[in-house]
Amino acid sequence: MERLKGKVALISGGARGQGAAEARLFATEGAKVVVGDVLDDVCKQTADEINAKAATKAAVALHLDVTRANDWRAAVAASEREFGGLDILVNNAGIYRTGGIEDTDEEDWDAVVNINQKGVWLGMKAAVPAMRRRGGGSIINISSIYGLIGSAGSAAYHGTKGAVRLLTKAAAVQYAPDRIRVNSVHPGVILTPMVDIVPPEQLQSLIELAPMKRAAQPEEVGWCVVFLASDEASFVTGAELVVDGGYTAI
């Protein structure tokens, strides 16, 4: 129950889905959590629910648009002001757009790149100085199985999630001397609002591609993120943790 005791975490896209599950699990394991999202009301609700179960204030909600450097600076400052520092960053915020190479328009391309790729870079850039002040930290970047393998209809998403995979390794190499570990997580099909836009038959056929033949609950990714965030993963950096029911094992 205390795997993250004494640690402060900042989770982007933490209002709902996997980010919210991670915020809840982190608090259960003793962390203080700053939950950032563009969905302000949902974000506040998530933080309120966590605080209702905690003996002392365990969560703070704030507006964080991951494409804005100023928002990131404010989020890191809030972590230090509210809870005394920053030990863990989960770069979880992301959007999904369908469209292959020719039928993706520039607007969609730029939106996906700005949130999924630039947002991860801005997050690390803002968080690292605060982690240095704590003597180390753990950064978890949420990629996807679509950052490992290709498919026909999600060009921008694949491009950004592949970039997150290698940006993670570059950061792991750069920040090892600072005792900051950086790892990527690669979920398969997870039952969150993100997959609501996928037509049910298409979703079912994606699910059938995984040997376990089911989708996962967000907590099944969340526990893996808890592990990477904790000192249990003290020698794990630059790694890709695949959480996909065997989808990419075939």
Residue that is written with structure tokens 């990714």 in the block: 221
Closer of 84 and 193 to ligand NAD (Cβ): 193
Per-residue tokens: 153: 């209809």
Is 175 noted as a catalytic residue in this protein? no
Dmax of the chain from CA atoms? 53
Residue 43 beta carbon to ligand NAD: minimum distance, rounded to whole angstroms: 8
Closer of 41 and 231 to ligand NAD (Cβ): 41
Report yes or no: 166 and 205 within 8 Å, Cβ to Cβ.
no
Per-residue tokens: 91: 């770069």
CA 65 to CA 71: how far, in whole Å? 6
Residue 62 beta carbon to ligand NAD: minimum distance, rounded to whole angstroms: 11
Strands 137-142, 88-91: parallel, antiparallel or unpaired by DSSP? parallel
Closer of 59 and 115 to ligand NAD (Cβ): 115
Residue 169 beta carbon to ligand NAD: minimum distance, rounded to whole angstroms: 18
Which residue out of 96, 146, 157, 247 is catalytically annotated?
157
Residues paired with residue 154 on neighbouring β-strands, in sequence order: 99
CA 143 to CA 188: how far, in whole Å? 10
CA 150 distance to own-chain centroid: 21
Give the footprint of ligand NAD on this chain (CB under 6 A): 12-13, 15-19, 37-39, 64-67, 92-96, 115, 142, 144, 187, 189-190, 192-195
Identity of residue 201:
E
Residue 248 beta carbon to ligand NAD: minimum distance, rounded to whole angstroms: 11
Closer of 3 and 16 to ligand NAD (Cβ): 16
Catalytic machinery residues = 157
